[in-house]
């Protein structure tokens, strides 16, 4: 069947595109802007789907989006632009002499210009059993369908490959209820994007969500069961693990088979020049199948740069040149923000600036050579990634910024702390959306020319924020700056996770109004989409249940993070950190002696004083934890928990010549009343005996300052990477009032904040005036809140830790930690 007859009136050049992915269709979009009537266009796609966003396969696997949600160009788009679309048809032959392509079913199409956008194919390990049923790759919608089907019928999944795709596959399968182990040949995860400390921080975060890892493991074979389906993975060291599903995510290879069969020059990809032409000048190629100057790119941004150049030449403009791309990676891997660019490993001739906050989940590393930023990697806080990348890409001299570079653009630019200032300060050529190669100027132009007022409008017209979503906040800021009073902010309420459409507030209301006491009850009543929830919603549900119905709701240990289950902070080397509680930072010789004896008995490698005035035993072995807690015979400092951590104090009027109030005793009283308190996130308190503020109350969730006439209470401070100063709540006269007002505020936060919101985030959402009405202005409301908190604390128990301190928990601990 010959498909060469033009559809339009009069002769047009014939453009045939082989491949229907993101890079190829982006080329057509650019071409249609430049020369909409130049070509009669025919597209062949091997998959049965129109162009879709391959980046978003992960949320489809996780059940957070559907296939329809990730379609970029539906069938209507092709017909509206006069494009013949052949889906499910693989081109198997190119006849360069006749200028014709042919598909497997014999369909043929002639071309004047041919665009090869054949993408890449997943690499399958050459091991025995690789072709067994139950072994899949993670590359297209068919792979996702196979994994979703397996997740509904089987339990154990093994993902081979600890890169981005492997981790996203593992996360999606976990959300589908599978028990997932990631096997990686390298010493750490995502070694192409992260250095070892960053990767260890990411691994710890994922382990807290239930993901398991086997690093530096070499797969020897995939084992088949009696049914012929895969049942396990065996390694070269002799170890084996069960596997009902094996996902190969070990890399991709440029798909050059068709080009090679046509005699085109290929070398680790289809070789192209700076105009994206192959050895045959009538044939162009772009995307993951291409090798340009010896480099094959797998990220979307370089491929879209190629698309612009290719469209420029197909449109006969002849002025575009693709000279390679400086690439950065800004991703959200299973809820963890990551950024890397350039030479982030460093080495001889470079200097490195580091910031590491393992407890807060933040790591930043900047690499400098000759007063220029040449690389960087960040985990947890990536807000300045685009700025760092622009410094790197443009080769700007950062000598004058050197001492302040780590603190980000706001600090270096003296722009204050408002994101809207950050957007306003960006130049038009600064990149906003790395996935789609969209600069600020592109967005501003679209907003002004097309009269855009919403984020969805901007996504539709520019594609900014439509891929991985990590630039969404910055796009909204640019929209707010440009549209001014016409800006329509996106609704701030969103569902808890992909398992449900309900918001945090709706879930809490249902638990309260319908007396739901267990996670299964809540999921059944609220019609959860997934049978077991996920690592995001289970801890939140567990907290909402126990905070709403203290003493009645079932506290599910398996729905807590690993640190709370182990009652210690897991460290990057797999050991643990144990911090016993010291009331208000005050201790005794007997306690110090006991801590020293425990440290010696269990050969604890490091004993450190913390910023919260406690003593930290670092490097504790997992198997020693129950015995250490029993020998310490001290309450837990809850340094691992979403709970009250510490109450920091100065020596106050008892010892200090400037002290106006007994801050130490006030801190002890606060801690002894509130120390069993679970919360949406960690909570830190401080008490200073005078306005000199030696206990740093201004950066605590609740800070108390002694003054001549009583006490001032401040709330909502945060001393993390983004410091937030606490706001004044009220001045009171007596210690009892300090307890009552502080407790009422904490209970309001416990009852209304979303899980994993700090007090500062809660205050940003509801406003300080709202809190004052509930806690300061309304005495009845304040008393009721405080009474509910005291009741919750009176019935709060920690049976696991009690048994650990009694030395009765070795077997249970090993079970939980496993």
In sequence order, the 6+-apart residues with CB closer than 8 A to the CB of 653 are 659, 660, 661, 662, 663, 689, 706
The token duo for 538 is: 């289970």
**Alpha carbon distance 245, 230 (integer Å):** 7
**In a 3-state reduction of DSSP, which class is residue 586?**
coil
Question: Which of 99, 111, 109, 112 lies closest to 3 in space, CA to CA?
Answer: 109
Q: Is the dihedral of CA 220, 221, 223, 229 positive or negative?
A: positive
Phi, psi of 775 (to 5 degrees): -105, -35
CB 614 within 8 Å of CB 635: no
**Alpha carbon distance 732, 274 (integer Å):** 72
**In a 3-state reduction of DSSP, which class is residue 94?**
strand
Phi, psi of 450 (to 5 degrees): -105, 0
Tell me how far CA of residue 446 lies from CA of 62, 443, 457, 479, 489, in angstroms: 33, 5, 9, 10, 17
Phi, psi of 760 (to 5 degrees): -65, -35
Q: Exposure string (b/e) for 8-18, b if CB count within 10 Å is 16 or more?
A: eeeebebbbbb
Q: Is 656 annotated as a binding residue?
A: yes
> Looking at the chain, how many residues does it have?
818
CB 181 within 8 Å of CB 158: yes
In sequence order, the 6+-apart residues with CB closer than 8 A to the CB of 500 are 507, 526, 527, 528, 529, 537
CB 215 within 8 Å of CB 196: no
CB 200 within 8 Å of CB 215: no
CB 502 within 8 Å of CB 522: no
The token duo for 576 is: 């643990």
- How many helices (H) and strands (E) in the chain? 27, 38
Q: Is the dihedral of CA 734, 736, 741, 746 positive or negative?
A: positive
Q: Is 690 annotated as a binding residue?
A: yes
Question: Which of 587, 710, 584 lies closest to 650 in space, CA to CA?
Answer: 584
| Residue 388: CB atoms within 10 Å | 24
DSSP one-letter string for 440-452: HHHHHHHHHHHT-
Q: Is 412 annotated as a binding residue?
A: no
CA angle 584, 586, 589 (to 5 degrees): 155
List, as residue ranges, the binding site for [4Fe-4S] cluster.
650, 656, 690, 694
List, as residue ranges, the binding site.
650, 656, 690, 694
């Amino acid at each position: 069947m010959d498909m060469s007859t033009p559809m339009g009136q009069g002769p047009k050049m014939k453009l045939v595109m082989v491949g229907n992915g993101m890079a190829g269709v982006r080329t057509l979009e650019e071409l249609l802007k430049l020369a909409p009537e130049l070509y009669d266009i025919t597209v062949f796609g091997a998959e049965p789907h129109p162009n879709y966003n391959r980046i978003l396969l992960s949320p489809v696997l996780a059940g957070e989006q559907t296939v329809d949600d990730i379609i970029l160009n539906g069938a209507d788009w092709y017909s509206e632009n006069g494009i013949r679309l052949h889906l499910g048809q693989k081109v198997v032959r190119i006849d360069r002499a006749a200028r014709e392509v042919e598909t497997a079913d014999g369909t043929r199409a002639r071309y004047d210009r041919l665009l090869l956008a054949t993408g890449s194919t997943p690499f399958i390990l050459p091991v025995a059993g690789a072709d067994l049923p139950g072994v899949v790759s993670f590359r297209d919608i068919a792979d996702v369908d196979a994994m979703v089907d397996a997740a509904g019928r089987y339990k154990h999944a093994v993902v081979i490959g600890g890169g981005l795709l492997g981790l996203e596959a593992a996360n999606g399968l976990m959300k589908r209820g599978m028990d997932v182990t990631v096997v990686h040949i390298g010493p750490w995860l995502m070694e192409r994007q992260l250095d070892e400390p960053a990767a260890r921080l990411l691994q710890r975060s994922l382990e807290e969500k239930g993901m398991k890892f086997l690093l530096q493991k070499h797969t020897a074979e995939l084992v088949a069961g009696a049914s012929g389906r895969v049942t396990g993975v065996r390694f070269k060291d002799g170890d084996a693990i069960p596997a009902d599903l094996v996902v190969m995510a070990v890399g991709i290879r440029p798909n050059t088979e068709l080009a090679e069969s046509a005699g085109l020059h290929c070398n680790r990809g289809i070789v192209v020049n700076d105009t994206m032409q192959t050895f045959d000048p009538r044939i162009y190629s772009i995307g993951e199948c291409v090798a340009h100057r010896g480099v094959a790119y797998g990220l979307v941004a370089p491929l879209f740069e190629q698309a612009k150049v290719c469209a420029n030449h197909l449109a006969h403009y002849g002025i575009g040149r693709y000279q390679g791309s400086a690439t950065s990676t800004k991703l959200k891997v299973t809820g963890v923000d990551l950024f890397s660019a350039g030479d982030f490993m460093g080495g001889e001739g470079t200097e490195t600036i580091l910031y590491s906050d393992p407890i807060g989940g933040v790591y930043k590393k900047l690499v400098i050579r000759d007063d220029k930023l040449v690389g960087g990697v960040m985990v947890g806080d990536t807000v300045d990634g685009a700025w760092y990348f622009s410094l790197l890409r443009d080769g700007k001299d950062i000598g004058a910024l050197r001492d302040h570079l780590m603190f980000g653009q706001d600090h270096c630019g003296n722009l204050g702390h408002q994101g809207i200032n950050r957007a306003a300060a960006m130049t038009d050529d600064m990149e906003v959306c790395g996935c789609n190669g969209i600069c600020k100027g592109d967005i501003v132009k679209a907003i002004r020319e097309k009269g855009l007022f919403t984020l969805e409008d901007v996504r539709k017209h520019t594609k900014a924020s439509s891929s991985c979503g990590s630039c969404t906040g910055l796009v909204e800021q640019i929209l707010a700056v440009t549209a001014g009073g016409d800006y329509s902010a996106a609704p701030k309420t969103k569902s808890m996770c992909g398992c449900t459409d309900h918001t945090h507030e709706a879930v809490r209301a249902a638990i309260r109004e319908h007396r739901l006491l267990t996670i299964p009850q809540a999921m059944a009543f609220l019609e959860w989409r997934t049978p077991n929830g996920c690592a995001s919603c289970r801890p939140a549900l567990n907290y909402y249940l126990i905070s709403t119905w203290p003493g009645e709701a079932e506290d599910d240990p398996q729905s807590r993070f690993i640190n709370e289950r182990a009652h210690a902070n897991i460290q990057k080397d797999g050991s643990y950190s144990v911090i016993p509680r010291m009331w208000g930072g005050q201790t005794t010789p007997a306690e110090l002696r006991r801590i020293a004896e425990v440290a010696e008995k269990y050969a604890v490698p490091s004993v450190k004083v913390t910023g919260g005035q406690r003593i930290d035993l670092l490097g504790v072995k997992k198997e020693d934890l129950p015995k250490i807690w029993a020998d310490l015979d001290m309450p837990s400092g809850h340094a691992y928990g979403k709970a009250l951590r510490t109450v920091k104090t100065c020596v106050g009027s008892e010892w200090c010549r400037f002290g106006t109030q007994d801050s130490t005793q006030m801190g002890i009283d606060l801690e002894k009343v509130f120390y069993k308190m679970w919360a949406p996130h960690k909570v830190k308190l401080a008490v200073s005996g005078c306005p000199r503020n030696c206990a740093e109350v201004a950066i605590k969730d609740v800070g108390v300052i002694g003054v001549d006439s009583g006490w001032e209470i401040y709330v909502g401070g945060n001393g993390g990477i983004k410091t937030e100063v606490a706001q004044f709540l009220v001045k009171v006269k007596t210690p009892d009032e300090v307890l009552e007002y502080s407790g009422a505020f904490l209970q309001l936060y416990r009852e209304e904040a979303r899980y994993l919101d700090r007090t500062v985030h809660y205050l940003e959402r509801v406003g300080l005036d709202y809190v004052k009405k509930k806690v300061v202005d309304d005495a009845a409301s304040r008393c009721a809140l405080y009474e509910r908190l005291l009741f919750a604390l009176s019935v709060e128990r920690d049976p696991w830790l009690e048994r650990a301190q009694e030395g009765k928990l070795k077997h249970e601990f090993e079970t939980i930690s496993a």
